[in-house]
Amino acid sequence: MTGDPTHQVFWFASRALGIVAIALLGVSVTLGLAMAGRVTRRPGLPARLKLLHEAATLVTLGLIATHAGLLLFDGYLRPDLTGITLPFALAYRPVFTGIGIIAGWLAVLLGLSFYVRKRIGTKTWRTMHRFTIVVYVLAVGHVVGAGTDGRSWWTLALLSALTAPIVFLFTYRVLPAPHPLRALHRRTVMSAALAGGTRTT
């Protein structure tokens, strides 16, 4: 194996697709959280977001498969099918590649569960779907720990840009919504105060 970059084209392509896969995974998780948190209620927008969320998830799954599959053709790493499908079987940075493989399988399981939600029950599907955030966390761990460019400034900048909205939307989703009666009471007090203010002027 020489250092000629043309001999490493599959390695480079796998890395590049991995970067795009994490970016699209971040977008997909952000869209999912935005829908779940009902951040926007503009008519027609939730349906569009859902469509984009579904398409982004499917393309992400394809990118993950291609990212792993291209490694089979890398003459330096030379992994076999077991190495790219079984966690911790690959000799190269086994912990972090293992984390990536777990994230990949979890993404397949959670992503495709949407299509069998009627069979497994919507409640079960919703419970399962909440674990999507775990896929993202594991994927970020895989990128930083196993990626050749994982600690470069531009990868860290990309991960920060992807993670910030996810953290915001996740926190927004997890925090309890205001109690309807308390909100009603606050509105009444506010309008009474405003009415009082109007009278005095």
Partner 1 sequence: MTDSNGQPANSGGARRGWSLYRTLLSLSVAALLAAWLPFSVIYINALTTRVSMVAKPSFAIHGTGASTGQSVHVLAPVTTRTS
Spell out the alpha helix ranges (H) of the chain.
9-36, 45-71, 81-85, 94-112, 117-120, 122-129, 132-146, 153-174, 180-200
CB 21 within 8 A of CB 60: yes
Judged by CB under 8 A, the residue of 35, 49, 59, 131 near partner 1 is 59
Of residues 38, 40, 45, 62, which one binds partner 1 by CB under 8 A? Answer: 62
Give dist(CA 81, CA 72) in Å, integer: 7
Cβ density class 17-34: b for 16+ within 10 Å, e for less: bbbebbbbbbbbbbbbbb
- Residue 108 engages partner 1 in binding (rule: CB under 8 A): no
Q: For residues 139-178, which are near partner 1 according to CB under 8 A?
A: 148-149
Among 39, 49, 52, 156, binds partner 1 (CB under 8 A): 52
Interface with partner 1 (CB under 8 A), residue from 10, 23, 113, 163? 23
* Beta carbons within 10 angstroms of residue 44's beta carbon: 7
Which one of 8, 64, 98, 142 is in contact with partner 1 (CB under 8 A)? Answer: 8
Candidates 5, 43, 44, 180; binder of partner 1 (CB under 8 A) is 5
| Least distance CB 50 / partner 1 (angstroms) | 10
Cα distances (angstroms) measured from residue 100 to each of 37, 111, 116, 146, 174:
28, 16, 25, 8, 26
Binding residues for partner 1, how many (CB under 8 A)? 31
Write out the residues near partner 1 by the rule CB under 8 A: 1-5, 8-9, 11-13, 15-17, 19-20, 23-24, 51-52, 54-56, 58-59, 62-63, 76, 92-93, 148-149
